[in-house]
Each structure stands twice: as structure tokens, then as C-alpha cells.
Structure 1
Amino acid sequence: MTTDAIYILDDEFELVKANHRIFAIHYSTYRENIFFRQNWERRLSIFNEDTPCYWISLKGNRIGGVSIEPNMISSLFLLKISDLSKPIHAFGILPYQTEHFFRLGFLPSEIRRVMMRPTELFESQELGEELEVVTPTSEHTEKISELLLESYSGPDSIGYSGENTMEHQRSALEYYFKNNNSDILTAASSLVIDKSSNAMVAVCLISLWEEIPLVSNIAVIPRYRSNRIASKLLRRALTVLNGEYEVLRLFVTIGNSAEALYYNLGFYPGLEQTTFQLIPRSC
């Protein structure tokens, strides 16, 4: 039994439509600050009037909340409003919640976390005579797309959470250059070129997410790895940003070899978040 404002699950549990602002206040109070959001209003603003917010009610008493819509939930599985012919995705599941999803037949597809580090002034990060650092621009979109496609292929695909195709990489870069064009973000970003072949071998793109700098993308093609290029590009970004921003954040997929690099550079890890998927099964 359902209405626009309520989902009756059984004799005891209900989902009751919530005001998005009040829901956001409770969410921000009781759920871990996994993204290191440092501004209260920023934490509240992730929910708007279009966000499907519901209170979890037990015998008329509010015991929690969930953002839910057909085939997608943030923290609770609800079968009755989903299309069982399609996969159901559950995002942002915290470690103490994963057991319940395993019991219901969900399987993890990705585990990620946010990491954060204070900006800092480092000495000049030289890459050697053969490599040159230039400023990435939208004119480099096609070549950077090729670099990213190569960097995230095969076993290295764990380092990229999206679909690794030229079309997807090109689209993501077009969005990046359109929305991250302030002087300091441009100065903190790097594109590494091998002067002998004019080939692009590494890139580090810095964006702004929730008013705090974010490593939008960092990649080095396989044959140029083990030369500490990525760590030098990150130190360069931390140095440039230090004059205006206090911290730098990034997302990392658990199991990605780059995770050790971030730890060694002093990035502090936030709580793990797992994405689960329930695949339709024929009876």
C-alpha cells in the first residue's frame, strides 16, 4: 500500500516523505562526514526539493532516513517500488551497513573513499631534462583523452570509476575545462610532455568541488611510471594551491595502487563507501 507521501512496508515499518531541509539537518548530524565537508551549509545543500527523502518509521517513531527512488537507494534496500527486471544500485554504503546488503544478495562493485591533505609549500619538483610541464587547456582534450584511455586500460581500470572509452573521456574533459577555468586551478594543473617525441605522458587536473580543490584526474601512462612523476605533480599542485586554499581532496578506489602514493604524501583517508548491485535473477 502506498501514497505519494508514504510507503507502508509491513505492520511496523513505513517510509514517510520528508522535508528535504529537515532531512538534510538530521542526515548531516547523524551520518559520518565521509566527504570532509567543512561547511555546515554545504553539507545541507546536497539535498534539494527534487531529492527523494524519506523518514524510516517504526511503529510511528522516526528511526532514520533514506534517499530512495526506483532502482536506486543510498542506504536501505526496498524491493516493493523497484523494477525487478533491472539491476538495483545502492550507493555510499558504509562499512557497518555492508553485512545487510550481502545477506540480501547484493554484490559490491566498487569501494571508494575520499582523502584529504593540507596544502603546503614544497621545493621545485623537477622532472628531468627529457620531460616538460605545460599548462593543460581545452586544446589538449583529444590527446589527454588518449592518455587517460591508455592509463586506465586493462589491470589499471581499477583506478577509474567511470566508463573508459574515448567518448566518455572526451566528454568528461570538455566538462572539466568548461567548469574549472580559474587562474589558480589552471596553474595547479599539469600536463607532462616527453620533449623527444612530443608525446603526452602524464596529467594532473585540479578542479573545485564544494569550494575546495579536488584532484579531478591524475594519470601516468604505464611505461613512464616508477619515475615519481605523479607524486611530483601532486606536490606541485599542493604548492600552487597553498596561497589560496588550505586543503586538497581526492577520491580513490580501494585496491588502486595509487592509494599507497596518497598515503605516503600525507593524505588522510575518510570512511570507505561501497557501491552494491543486485542483478536480476530468473526464477
Structure 2
Amino acid sequence: MYRAQGAAASEQTGVPGPGTLAEARRLLLKAERLADRLQERPPGWVEVTADDFNLDGRTEVRLQSEGLTAWIDPVDDRGFHELDLRDIGLSLPLLTGRLGNGGHGGPAAWLLDPETSRDEYVDGTGKLLSMGPQGGQITLERPGGSAWMRWDSAPESLGPRIDWRIGMEAGDGRRLLLEGRVAGLEPRSLRHLAVEIPLGTGELEDCYGYDRDGQRIELETLDSMPEGDWLGLIEEQAGVDWSLGWSPRSPAWRVRGVATDLVVPHWTFQADDTGQWAFRVELTVDTSAVQARQLGQLARRAA
């Protein structure tokens, strides 16, 4: 903890730059992992907690396992704003807190113009309405040892919205589950929705995609993907293996976020008789390759 404080204060200006801030965050995650050992947690543990973790006077939600932490700020335009790969000490600020970015309690999501292209999505001209819960409240759920945050809009809410359920299952703490329910639409109306999901650490070298059969896909071909429901990403230098699944099937775009790449499934769908529609996303992160590399380095130093 003291080393993290020292890293954050090491710049001559007293304000941490990107490099020193990343080092401070890495050391904080290492301190967290050491503290885990004192709590004698069972294998495969997951937990969900709500508190003012960053001391800004507002409540944040932390979904955590041995390997991952997902930070969710239940305030409009913050949403799912950070993902920590705890077991390798890497923090990925998603920066979904900028005004008007569609964060709203979960991943950034937008209703789109029907003819929106990837370029129009990136420059914002195809976005019609940012989507998220309206009022309501957050509920923390722990069924069967799993950990979930549910945000339901207030019963009197009007207009288009998304209510989110985000969580981790016990024994599967490398997988983050996101369930969205769109509501407030006209019954049987046709709509177009895009949701941004982080995929990757931001590394640009030695990276490639792959499909369910393990066939390699060059990144340049992923900017506009045809209809599908799954994508894998190998980052050889970082040693991280990502996979993203979404349902129902849809086309997807790959765009650059602030710190990571984003995969953006975009659906054309018809609301049901009550003006609702549901979707699901699963994000899995495997860091076993980088952990094996770290163990090998320790063994060589010991020798």
C-alpha cells in the first residue's frame, strides 16, 4: 500500500501521469490479493458489495472474484467504468463516465438510427438515445454463492430504458455476465440497439482474433463483423485470452475505446406485446498464460 502511494506521488508535479498511475494501481491490486489470504476465502469465491469506495460521497458497486473486479457506478453516465484483472495486477479504466456517453448503470448502450454505419456510430451521428435504467433502485443478490447487481427502473418510468442484471457465478469468477431488458417501447415496434463491451487490454502488438473453432482471424477484418454470437481475442504479449459471447445473434463492430478495444453488437429487433426485449452478454478473461510466465520468471530468479 505504501509503495502504491509512493508511485502515485512520484511525479515532480505531484500529479500522477498515466505510467505512474498504472504502477500505483498495479501495486494496489497486489495489496488486495495479499489481503485476500488473510480472509481464508473458499475456492471459486465471488462477492458483490456496495460502498463509497473512492470517497466521493457516492455509492459504487464492486463485483469481485479472485481474478476479476468489475466496478459499476450506479449514477447516470458512469455505469460499468472499470475492469481489474486482479491476478495479474492490471487495471483497465473504461472511462464510461463522460457526460452523454450512454453509460447509465451498465455498459454504454444506444438506440440507433436504422441505417447507422460503423463510421456514423463512431462519430455519434447515428446515435438516437442513450439507454439505461430510469430512477428505481439497485438490489444486491447472492443466490447459491453467486453475486449479482440488479437495477430495476422505477415502476412509474416512461419511455425507452434498459434495466441491468450484472454478476458472476460461484466457481466461475473469470466470467462476467450481463443481462439487459429493454422496456418502454411501443408494442411490436422495430428498434435498433448497440451495446459496448470491452475486449482486450489495449495492446496493439501480437494480437489476433479467433472463432469458436479456433480459426485465427486477423484484427483488421473485425472492424465490421457479419452476424454472429462469439469472438475470441489472444494478446500474446500481455498473455491474456479473452472471449465474448452475445445472444441473440447479431452483427458487431470493433471500435477503439479510451483504454481498450470495444466490441459493439448491434441488434435489429421487434419488441414484444408489452414493449420489452431481452439480451445477454458473457465476457470471459483467461490470464493463465501470463501467470505461468510470471511463475517461470520467479523460478529462474530462485535458481
Pair in the same fold by TM > 0.5: no
Is the radius of gyration larger for structure 1 or structure 2? 1
Which structure's residues are more often helix, by fraction? 1
- Bucket of the pairwise TM-score, normalised by the shorter protein: under 0.3
Which structure's residues are more often strand, by fraction? 2
Structure of greater relative contact order (alpha carbons < 8 Å, 6+ residues apart): 1
TM-score, normalised on structure 2?
A: 0.23
